Amino acid sequence: MIPDLAEIESMFTPEQIMCLTTEIGEDEIDNLLAGGAPDLSLFTALTTCEVDLMSLLAP
């Protein structure tokens, strides 16, 4: 299931969303939301954008 906008916005701050869009691009974000495999550059972007990976993996 692809998360809706409200779910995405609750997971990230507006600054993190802007940073991730700049770092990995909208096409890659769309791919990830559709269930695509992440590119290794995603992990660098998560660090750059100060996104806690464990918070994304927690239920």
- What string of DSSP letters covers 2-39? PPPHHHHHHHS-HHHHHHHHHHH-HHHHHHHHTTPPPP
Residue 35: what pLDDT? 85
- Region for residue 50 given its phi and psi (left: phi exceeds 0; alpha: psi -120 to 50; beta: otherwise): left
Average pLDDT over residues 11-27: 92
pTM of the model: 0.75
- Model confidence band, residue 10 (pLDDT cutoffs 50, 70, 90): confident
Average pLDDT over residues 29-57: 87
Nearest of 26, 31, 23, 24 to residue 2 by alpha carbon = 31
